[in-house]
Structure 1
Amino acid sequence: MFVLNRVLFAGGIMLPESTSLTVSHFSAVHRLTSPRRNSPYSSVDSERYSSLVKSVMSSRVSTQTPESLQAEDDNIYGPVVKAQMPSRSEPRVPKTLHPFLNSERALEKDEPEAGPPARILLNRGRSRAFIPSVTRVLQQTLSPEQTFYLERWKRRMIAELGEEGFKEYSQNVFRQGKLFHSALEGILTSAETWKKRNLSETPVCPPDVQGYIQSICHVLEDVSAVRAIESTVQHGALNYLGIVDCVARYRGVLCVIDWKTSEKPKPFLSNTYDNPVQVAAYAGALNSDANYKYQVENGLIVVAYKDGSPAHAHQVNSELMSEYWKTWLLRLEEFSEPRDAMSSYL
């Protein structure tokens, strides 16, 4: 017991001086007058969760094992079928790997004797009536992805230009391509014209293609010893033909040269789509054609631009030509399969 000598406030109650209180009385007063705090567990239904608490606190071990659980799942849902990792598909190879080079001919190491370039015209007689061209084979064996992008481009052009406008655009592109190749033929067969610096101002160059010729000027500086221009080649064993744009030396290496025009820049070989396959097909046909006494194992794709900006020259070396030759053989097999099936049916 102790005595309070002054007025004190205990829990909000004023006590008179000299009032005697025990400690127990003081605590009781404080508890009675202070607000009661709610426990966060007061709303928990202890009976509802009692079984859960007992199971957690119990030291008993379940009789279930991973093996028994797996067996139970298999019984209810069936056995688990594990997905196999996708295996990398093996690259396709031609059924018959026809050689690209002609073993009966030697590769030229030196410059050939001077002479006019060969130009064997295409003669579609009876013997050649049913021989497919390289262009036709490639067009009819496009991949689904290539077909999709080609059709999408065509739809966009028609939406922008209309049916008649797109037809006129296509005809204009074809006409400019013919004029470009004709101008090139005149340049490559005329030594006097070829020596001129400004090739776009020569009489053989129409105004419509002056930009293209200006675009390839730096490439023509490295071209020499022209062997063939716009000349037909035919592969007798594989039964196809084509017309090579040019066979000449580029920086000293004999190449099948393909001249292309484009409205968009194509700085990489991959931008030229099937052009390398086309060049390999031409070279393989030339190597087997009896009209030519030499053979070629390299290629060159030159992309010229109408605005005169420098053309992109993509070299296709012998190793790449060999790979594109295999791709050509696959495309040729794909083209021939429906025809063979129809022949056997008839």
Structure 2
Amino acid sequence: MFILKRVVCVGGTIVPQCTALSVSNFSAYSCVRSRKRNSPYSSVDSGRYSSLVKSVMSSRVSSQTPETLQTEDEHVYGPVVKGPTPSSRPEMRVPKTLHPFLHFQETLQAEEPESGPPVRIVLNRAGRSSVPSVTRILQQTLSPEQIFYLERWKRRMIAELGEEGFKEYSQKLFRQGRLFHSAVEDILVSGATWKNRNPLETSEYPPEVQGYMESISHVLEDVGAVRATESTVHHHTLNYLGIVDCVARYRGVLCAIDWKTSEKPKPFLSNTYDNPVQVAAYAGALNNDGNYKYQVENGLIVVAYKDGSPAHVHQLSSELMLKYWTTWLIRLEEFTEQRSSHASSAFEQKRGAV
């Protein structure tokens, strides 16, 4: 009797079947008792194999890199055909109107002397409620990357401190910054140098401020001829305003100075994010504000630390200030476009409701 073995696939499963040539001599027993072929997987350590599978399946990160995945994909399907790009570099945006940073016509003839107390023009919102501030414009024109990292930092802080804890933390930072600026202004207005100050006078500052003041002590020794502190500047042509922290000479160079506090070291100018753009915006407004009879071409960013470690000082040359002034003009245009778009949408919704 001959028994014919064949293999069929049922529902994706391979099933061996036996068929006898003679029906009368059919024997199921002979099929069941037929000798099995040795599986190549019979020698595999099932325990180790199982643990390996679990470790791979539970991993959150693929063991393959994007490069190896792309290589494998191209081997199977062929290389990706990409359309031609018009340029390998993205086109750099330039301002539609390049407003001048300096405005010498009205200031050269009647420049103010550097002697005397510094000017402090208090912000008065009466009649200027629609004029946006430099801070507001920069906040509303952040890049998608800046927004991503800012939101991620905020979520991480809330996860650590909770909603109320994060609110208290933010209020504490704001209070420290305000006290710090007030302490710096007191020194600059008094005309006293840091070298000549009595150590007992320094200890009069709130504990939150003493470390910051020690941090900028080496900077204050090089600051003189203070012309303005915490003073409002208004660019009437471009219609924005701000409050410049200080205008003074740093090592003989007249600068728009911005005092900053930070919990992390910022040794490089790139670590200060939009601060250079902010300083350029303040200086450009001051240069076009009739209340100030002089021009400021340079900038200075001073980053103070609470632990008293020496502050980092970032000088902005006239060339850098022009560069950041151009960036500011672009951000200002973006803000104006956004506000115009929102106003149009609100008008359309109101008209549709009627």
8 Å CA contact 1:200–1:210 kept in 2: the answer is: no
8 Å CA contact 1:193–1:199 kept in 2: the answer is: no
RMSD: 2.2
Letter in 1 for 2:282: Y
Deviation at 1:205, TM superposition (A): 2.1
Residue-by-residue CA offset, 1:188-240 (whole Å, 9 max, x unaligned): 11134644256684265222100000000000111010000000000000000
8 Å CA contact 2:114–2:226 kept in 1: the answer is: no
Which residue in the other structure is 2:101 paired with?
100
* In structure 1, C-alpha distance between the alignment counterparts of 2:277 and 2:318, rounded to whole Å: 13
Alignment partner of 1:258 is 2:261: no
1:1-346 mapped onto 2 (5 Å cutoff):
83-84=83-84, 86-105=87-106, 112-126=113-127, 128-192=128-192, 194-196=194-196, 201-202=201-202, 205-343=205-343, 346=347
Gaps of 5+ in 2: 1-79, 348-354
Q: Aligned to 2:234, what secondary structure does the other structure show? A: strand
Letter in 2 for 1:124: R
Letter in 2 for 1:284: G
Residue-by-residue CA offset, 1:217-266 (whole Å, 9 max, x unaligned): 00011101000000000000000000000000001000000000000000
Greater C-alpha Rg = 1
8 Å CA contact 1:180–1:213 kept in 2: the answer is: yes
8 Å CA contact 1:188–1:194 kept in 2: the answer is: no
Segments of 4+ in structure 1 off by > 3 A?
Answer: 80-83, 105-108, 110-113, 192-195, 197-201, 341-346
Q: Aligned to 2:255, what secondary structure does the other structure show? A: strand
Deviation at 1:342, TM superposition (A): 4.6
TM-score relative to the length of structure 2: 0.71
Q: Aligned to 1:189, what secondary structure does the other structure show? A: helix
* In structure 2, C-alpha distance between the alignment counterparts of 1:97 and 1:192, rounded to whole Å: 41
Closer, same or farther: CA 303–82 of 1 in aligned 2, 3 Å: closer
* In structure 2, C-alpha distance between the alignment counterparts of 1:93 and 1:303, rounded to whole Å: 30
Matched length? 265
Closer, same or farther: CA 157–344 of 1 in aligned 2, 3 Å: closer
8 Å CA contact 1:223–1:250 kept in 2: the answer is: yes
TM-score relative to the length of structure 1: 0.72
Q: Aligned to 2:292, what secondary structure does the other structure show? A: coil
Give the percent of matched residue pairs that are identical in Structure 1 and Structure 2: 76
Residue-by-residue CA offset, 1:155-188 (whole Å, 9 max, x unaligned): 0000111111100000000000000001001111
Closer, same or farther: CA 215–198 of 1 in aligned 2, 3 Å: farther
Letter in 2 for 1:226: V
Closer, same or farther: CA 238–111 of 1 in aligned 2, 3 Å: closer
* In structure 2, C-alpha distance between the alignment counterparts of 1:159 and 1:119, rounded to whole Å: 41
